Chains A and B, each alone.
Chain A
Amino acid sequence: MVRLYNVTKIYKNNSIALNNVTLHIKKGEFIFLVGPSGAGKTTLTRLIFREDIPTRGQIVFNGKNVVRMRPGEVPFHRRKIGMVFQDFRLLAQRTVYDNVAFALQVTGTSNHRIKKLALEALKVVGLEGKEKMHPEQLSGGEQQRVCIARAIVNNPLLLIADEPTGNLDPGTSRELMNLFKEINGRGTTIIMATHAWDIVDSMKKRVVALSGGKVVRDEESGDYHGA
C-alpha cells in the first residue's frame, strides 16, 4: 500500500535526513519505525503524508504517486491518512466532540453524518460521556485518545503515529497500544515511530530501524534493539 523507492531527503541546510530508503508496506500491517534521535523517522512520515517532497526517489501510496501529485490532489491524499502526534495538536477552545467533528467538517461532510461518525469514533477510543469536555480538562492519555479518534473518524487507510506515547506514563501507554492494536485489527494500516522499546518488544510487530537516514534493519515481529 505504501512503497518508497530510493527515497532521499536532503533539507535546505544540507542535512541528509533520509538516504536512499526503499521500503514496502502492505495493507493491514503494523510497523514500528525505530532508531536514534535524528535518524529520519519523522521525515519519513512527513514524506508519505506529502507535507514535504523527497529530494530524490518516488513514493506510491494506494496506487498513486505521491511525489508527482498535483497540489489540488494533496488534501484528498491526506484524507486517506490519519495523523497522531506526540503533542496531540488539539484545539483548546473546542470541545472533545468538536475536535473530532472538525476532521469531518473540513472535508465537507454533512452535519448528520458528522454526528454519527464522531460519536462512533469517540466510542472506539473509550471517551463516551466526555464529548462536552475541553482538552485541558482531560489527562494526557485521554487527550491522545481524542487525537486518535480524530485521526480515525473518516476511516483512513493508513494511521501514522509519531511518538504517540512520548508524553505518557507506561501504564497509559500500554492502554493506548491496545487501542492501536484494536484499530489495526479493523484493517487500518499503522506506522508508528517510537522510542518506547518495551512496547515494541511486547507487540511483536514488524520493526524498521533507521539510522543516519538509512534502513539498517527490517524484521517481521522484531524487537526494538534487534537480535
Chain B
Amino acid sequence: MGRSAVGYYFKEAFDSLFRNNWLSLASIGVVTVSLFIFGCFLLIAINTSAIINTLESMLEINVFLENNLNQSEINHLNEELKFLPGVSGVEFVPKEQALENMLTSLGNGKDITDNLDENPLPDSFRIKTNSVGLVPQIAANIYKFKGVRNVIYGQEVVERLLIVTRWIRTTCLTSIGVLGLAAIFLISTTIRVSVFSRRKEIGIMKFLGATNWFVRLPFLLEGVVLGFSGALLASIIVYLVYTIVIDKIAVTMPFLPVVGQIDKLAPVYWGLLILGLLIGAAGSSISVHRFLKV
C-alpha cells in the first residue's frame, strides 16, 4: 500500500463524515453517552474497591476476655493469638485504657461514667488480619480459646459495601450494553447511508479494478473515526467531571480514600478510547459486509 493510498483512505473517510453530518453527530453522541456512563462506572468501581481495601486494613477483631484472668494467662493468650495464621498484629488493651478511650470518644458525656464506682469494661485484645476474607474464620477460632468471653468484628460493613458495588455494576453494565448496541447500530446506519450515497463511485471503482479492501477501507475508517471521536469526547467529559467530584470530596469527605486523577487512571481513559475504536469498527463492519457486496 503506497503513501497515496493511505492519504486516499483518510480523505475519503473524512469527506464522507462531513457529507452525512447529522447522522455522524448522532453516532458520535451515542458513543459519547455510552462511554461516559461506562467511564463513570469504572471510576466508581475503582474507588469502591479502594475504599474496601482501606476498610479491610482497618478492620479489626476485638477479643474481650473473662474478668478473672491473671497476668500469665493473658500473656499466654497473647502468644497464642500472635501465631494464629492470618493474624498480622496483636495489641493488648487493658480495661483502664478501654475506659479512657471511651471517655475521650464520649467527650462531654463524661458525667455518665462519673457515677460508675467500678470499671465495667473487660480487658481485650485488638487483632489486625491480613485480609478481610479471613476475619470470620479467625474470629471463630479465637472464640474457642479459654478465657475469651466474646469476639466482635465489623464484617457487615464490608458486606454491605460489596452488595452496593454489585448493584452498581449490574445497572451500569446493563445500560452500557444497551447503549453500546445502540451505538453500534447507529454507526452501522451511518455507514450504510454513506455506502448508499456513494454507490456510483463504488461502481466505478469496481470496474477500475479496485480490490474489495480498497473499496471497504474508507468506510471502515469512517466508522472507526466516529467511534473514536465519541470516545475522545466521553474521556474528556469523564475527566472534567471526575476532577470536580474529587475536589468536592476532598473538601466535604476528606477521609474517603479517593483514587487520584493521573496516577492510576490512565488505563481507564485508554480503555475508553480503545472501546470507542472497537464500537466504530464493529458498526462499520456490519454495514460494509452487508451492503457492500464487492
Contacts of A77 in B (CB 8 A): 209
Contacts of B212 in A (CB 8 A): 71-72, 75
B207's closest neighbor in chain A, by CB? A83
Does chain B have a CB within 8 A of A102? yes
How far does the alpha carbon of A146 sit from the alpha carbon of B263 in the complex, in Å? 60
How far does the alpha carbon of A154 sit from the alpha carbon of B5 in the complex, in Å? 16
Does chain B have a CB within 8 A of A111? yes
Interface string of B180-210 (1 = CB under 8 A from A): 0000000000000000000011011111111
Chain A positions 108-132 with a Cβ under 8 Å from a chain B Cβ: 108-111, 114
A160's closest neighbor in chain B, by CB? B207
In the complex the two chains form, is B207's CB within 8 Å of A78's CB? yes
In the complex the two chains form, is B204's CB within 8 Å of A111's CB? no
Q: How far is the CB of B10 from chain A (nearest CB, A)?
A: 13
Does chain A have a CB within 8 A of B104? no
In the complex the two chains form, is B204's CB within 8 Å of A89's CB? yes
Q: How far is the CB of B195 from chain A (nearest CB, A)?
A: 16
Q: How far is the CB of A82 from chain B (nearest CB, A)?
A: 9
Interface size in chain B (residues, C-beta < 8 A): 20
How far does the alpha carbon of A114 sit from the alpha carbon of B3 in the complex, in Å? 12
How far does the alpha carbon of A163 sit from the alpha carbon of B201 in the complex, in Å? 21
Does chain B have a CB within 8 A of A79? yes
Contacts of B204 in A (CB 8 A): 89, 91, 102
A49's closest neighbor in chain B, by CB? B207
Contacts of A108 in B (CB 8 A): 1-2, 4-5, 214
Contacts of A114 in B (CB 8 A): 4
Contacts of A49 in B (CB 8 A): 207
In the complex the two chains form, is A107's CB within 8 Å of B3's CB? no
Q: How far is the CB of A163 from chain B (nearest CB, A)?
A: 16
Interface of B is mostly: helix
Q: How far is the CB of A93 from chain B (nearest CB, A)?
A: 9
Q: How far is the CB of B213 from chain A (nearest CB, A)?
A: 10
Give the interface residue-count category, chain A.
Answer: 20 to 34
Selected contact of B4 from candidates A75, A76, A105, A150, CB within 8 Å: A105
Does chain A have a CB within 8 A of B291? no
Chain B positions 200-238 with a Cβ under 8 Å from a chain A Cβ: 200-201, 203-212, 214
Q: Given that A75-B212, A91-B200, A91-B201 are contacting pairs, would A105 and B207 also be in contact in the complex, using a CB cutoff of 8 Å?
A: no
How far does the alpha carbon of A105 sit from the alpha carbon of B6 in the complex, in Å? 10
Q: Given that A108-B1, A108-B5, A110-B3 are contacting pairs, would A75 and B211 also be in contact in the complex, using a CB cutoff of 8 Å?
A: yes
How far does the alpha carbon of A78 sit from the alpha carbon of B2 in the complex, in Å? 20
Contacts of A79 in B (CB 8 A): 208-209
Contacts of A105 in B (CB 8 A): 4-5, 8
A102's closest neighbor in chain B, by CB? B208
Task: Identify the 5 closest CB pairs spanning chains A and B, nearest first.
Answer: A79-B209, A106-B210, A78-B209, A111-B4, A75-B211
29 examples of A-B residue contacts, CB within 8 angstroms: A49-B207, A75-B209, A75-B212, A78-B207, A78-B208, A78-B209, A79-B208, A89-B200, A89-B203, A91-B201, A91-B204, A102-B205, A102-B208, A103-B208, A103-B209, A105-B4, A105-B5, A105-B8, A106-B205, A106-B209, A106-B210, A106-B214, A108-B1, A108-B4, A108-B5, A108-B214, A110-B3, A111-B7, A154-B209
Question: Interface of B with A (CB < 8 Å)?
Answer: 1-5, 7-8, 200-201, 203-212, 214
